[in-house]
Amino acid sequence: MSSADAADVFHLDGHDVPFTTGETVLAATSRAGRYIPHLCWHPDFAPHGSCRVCTVRVGARLVPACTLPAATGLVVESDTAELRHLRLRLLQLLFVEGNHFCPSCEKSGDCQLQATAYAVDMTGPHFEEFYPARPVDASHPDILLDLNRCILCSLCVRASREVDGKSVFALGGHGIDTHLLIDSPSGRLVDTDFAPTDRAASICPVGVILPKRRGFAVPIGERRFDQQPISAAEEGDP
């Protein structure tokens, strides 16, 4: 690293993190092998800033790390009691606003929501569950949609629009009534041109979009986050 490049660092919890021009704090941190919990961010897409799980402190401000531009000399706090508590409450809200029954979910052990909850030492929902009435769409011959697990990260929306060029998914409604929509006359996936090879078919961080006829092909206990915590599994590979 040249002397000019060496100056391009910010400070995260007392550690120097190098960055390139245009990177956000979360992108640079992840590339450097350090972990800030997150759900709606993905390195292949522009930051969305919707889940706020990656919130960090910069001086007096609380800001999402996924939208915060990295800057030389920036001092960022992520691992504090205040921020750990904030993330815990955000995750507990996500669990009670949907129907997340981990022991019976095909995504268990490979679910980013579940793994992030473990990372922040979540042991229970804290709040009363809403148990919303959400549909399961099994109309497509190859893909199952279980909207009970949707966390509204919009990754499938962005992947379908920006990579697949299909815009199969969208978000509709407001507040607690916000939900995932299927862009077809019937509102069912079978009436779209969605394919198992689409980028949107593999982008979901939870168990909403699942391939049929492959359930539990990898046994529980042998999955990605069964083998190592998300903080280690994501180092250099967000």
Q: With bands split at pLDDT 50, 70 and 90, how would you rate the model's confidence at 215?
A: confident
Instruction: Find the helix or strand (DSSP H, E) in which 113 lies.
Output: helix 112-119
pLDDT attached to residue 3: 36
pLDDT attached to residue 234: 65
Supply the mean pLDDT for the chain.
93
Q: Is 216 left (phi over 0), alpha (psi -120 to 50) or beta?
A: left
Q: With bands split at pLDDT 50, 70 and 90, how would you rate the model's confidence at 235?
A: low
pLDDT attached to residue 236: 43
Convert the pLDDT of each residue in 57-66 to its tens digit: 999 999 999 9
Q: What is the 3 state secondary structure string of 134-178?
A: CCEECCCCCEEEEHHHCCCCCHHHHHHHHCCCCCCEEEECCHHHC
| pLDDT of 148 strictly over 80 | yes
**How many helices (DSSP H) and strands (DSSP E) are in the chain?**
7, 10
Average pLDDT of the residues in 3-31: 87
CATH 3.30.70.20 domain locations along the chain: 89-227
pLDDT attached to residue 122: 97
Convert the pLDDT of each residue in 114-130 to its tens digit: 999 999 999 999 999 99
Q: What is the DSSP letter of 128?
A: P
Contact criterion met (CB below 8 Å) for 185 and 179: no
Average pLDDT of the residues in 181-208: 97
Least confident of 6-20, 110-124, 133-147, 190-204: 6-20
What's the CATH class of domain 89-227? alpha beta
CATH 3.10.20.740 domain locations along the chain: 3-79
d(CA 134, CA 103): 19
- 3-79 CATH fold: Ubiquitin-like (UB roll) (3.10.20)
| pLDDT of 233 strictly over 80 | no
